Amino acid sequence: MTISRRKVLAASAAAPVLLAGGTAHAAAPASIHIHSERHRGEIDRKIFGNFIEHLGRCIDGGIFEEGSPLSDKHGFRKDVLKAVKDMNVPLLRWPGGNFSSNYNWRDGIGPRNARPKRLEMAWGTVEGNRFGTHEFMDYVEQTGSEPYICLNLGTGTWSEAQQWIEYVNGNQDTAIVAERKKNGRDKPWKVKYWGLGNEMDGYWQMGHRSAADYGAYALEAAKLAKLTDPEVKLIAAGSSNYRAGSDWIGWNRTVLEYLKDYADYISLHLYVGNTGNDYADFVASPIEMDQKIETVAGIIDAALATRTDRATGQLSKDGRKIYIAFDEWNVWYRARGDGQRGRRILEERYNLEDALVVAGFLNSLVNHADVVKIANLAQLVNVIAPIFTNDQGLFLQTIYYPLQLFANNMKGNSLRLLTQSPTYQSKRFDKVPYIDASAAMDGNRLVLNVVNRHQDQAINVVIGLEDKRFSGSVQVSEVNGPDIKAMNDFGSTLVSTKTRHIDASANTLTYSFPPHAQTMLVATLS
Ligand code: AHR
């Protein structure tokens, strides 16, 4: 298991160790040193992506509700669309998830009333297919997101996958392109991101295979995809199954051995939960994301280092890259388990501690901006989601706010911070820093995001600029609430973002970060 960068920094900084609920912050100084040119990598906005699946009320009854007075003429819920736009979603993955592993895209095209109803076996319902490829493409046009389509490499054939790409991106005089035109879309959509199946390492997946079988199958699908449209970027299905006895490292290694000449990304999935009601351990969960990313980044490097040129047999020097697509991540543990079949499923209700974990995951993604170039929160509406609806309206769950802050502010270059923080020991992790941070520099604009994991103590942090000065007003946005279990509901918002401004003009700023809160500072530097 790799040691996370955060743990190394925290340890090397030799900061005092506080027990949760221990001594006062005055005894435990913390600091974040920032150099505006100590870059980690450019932040790809697609790491703030999201995901919609034909599952419960995510699509049907979430973004799409035909006949509702709240919907437009296409059936899209206008209130949901506004909340999605306000969250600034750069990339939207569809149609699953587990759903995609038995989805035939042909069921979702043509006149809506003529589309077949099919048994939906991933989540135990009947799929009406009224939302298909055209509706998805219309939706991303409205939200301003880039589309990302997950192919069926479970029960689907190579031809079905190839023909879906041709239908969506083709421009030649073929029967499939003519069919798209007949269905009302003349120009190709040119969808760039295509997933080579979903969670194929999971025994629960329809069409689950061994790593070698999946690698060999996905390789042929990848060849067909790139022959159909050389511009497509392909996401191989990496690990999602971390249960005891599963060889998740071996899965990623084998898959990359097969796909290292064709995949542009390898996906990772991670869901966490507070099943033992242990706040200190739960809020440290983003360390697991750090560990997964750093382990798989090493596996990618190893795979790329052994590529050979087919013509010469020599080691390849073409500089090919493979990135990580963390295309499902979230807190998910309450609405989980065998009972999750049917219509109102996975309707997780989030509290403040969940929002802090989400903010920590976002810190992790930004802190690995050199290797993670796509990430998708699972999912957008109702199903383990930041937006929650009923037939009269919606409310924004606690986790909406960190997502919104990151997607709207964090851009430019991710900075390597030197963070010194008091630490604590949790059930799963040693030396968990109370102060968890990430930052970005875009021109002369600094964005610093801090999660203070401490449940009841503010922590003073000296923010030291090594090569710049603050130049006036600093915007401070805080996601917080009365206590870690505080939740939002219809008509009641206990957790949200509050924004104010402070002044700073020197090269240091000491800020007292409040307990159990996410705080984002946005400053202009000179
Ligand atoms: O996001 C919910 C489900 O979690 C997805 O369908 C699947 O990919 C994962 O197991």
The whole-angstrom separation of Cα 387 and Cα 84 is 8
State if residue 31 touches ligand 1 by the CB under 6 angstroms criterion.
no
The whole-angstrom separation of Cα 499 and Cα 516 is 17
Distance 353 CA to ligand 1 centre (A): 22
Give the pLDDT of residue 470: 98
DSSP single-letter state for residue 75: S
Which tokens in the block code for residue 496? 């949200």
Region 253-263: what's the mean pLDDT? Answer: 98
Please give the number of the atom of ligand 1 that sits closest to the Cα of 198.
8
Do you find a cis peptide bond into 95, omega within 30 degrees of 0? yes
| pLDDT tens track for 215-246 | 999 999 999 999 999 999 999 999 999 999 99
Task: Look at strands 435-442 and 265-272 and give their pairing.
Answer: unpaired
Distance 46 CA to ligand 1 centre (A): 19
State if residue 199 touches ligand 1 by the CB under 6 angstroms criterion.
yes
Output b/e per residue, 301-325; b: 16+ Cβ within 10 A: eebbeeeeeeeeeeebeeeeebbbb
Give the pLDDT of residue 202: 97
Token pair 């990848």: residue: 222
Window from 223-227, 251-255, 335-339, 367-371 with minimum mean pLDDT: 335-339
Q: What pTM value is reported for the model?
A: 0.94
Q: Is the confidence at residue 18, as pLDDT, over 90?
A: no
Distance 413 CA to ligand 1 centre (A): 31
The amino acid occupying position 519 is: T
Q: Is the confidence at residue 24, as pLDDT, over 50?
A: no
The amino acid occupying position 85 is: K
Question: Pick the catalytic residue: 120, 127, 328, 348?
Answer: 328
Please give the number of the atom of ligand 1 that sits closest to the Cα of 378.
1
Active site residue 179: no
Protein residue with its CA nearest to atom 1 in ligand 1: 378
Q: Is the confidence at residue 509, as pLDDT, over 80?
A: yes
> Which is more confident, 313 or 146?
146
Contacts of 526 (CB under 8 A, 6+ apart): 444, 468, 469, 471
Q: Determine the Cα angle at 493 with ends 363 and 496, to 5°.
A: 25
Active site residue 353: no
The whole-angstrom separation of Cα 104 and Cα 222 is 18
| pLDDT tens track for 265-280 | 999 999 999 999 999 9
The whole-angstrom separation of Cα 56 and Cα 344 is 5
State if residue 56 touches ligand 1 by the CB under 6 angstroms criterion.
no
Give the pLDDT of residue 29: 79
Which tokens in the block code for residue 137? 């493409």
State if residue 102 touches ligand 1 by the CB under 6 angstroms criterion.
no
Protein residue with its CA nearest to atom 2 in ligand 1: 97
Q: Please say whether the beta carbons of 149 and 137 come within 8 A.
A: no
Question: Pick the catalytic residue: 53, 127, 199, 348?
Answer: 199
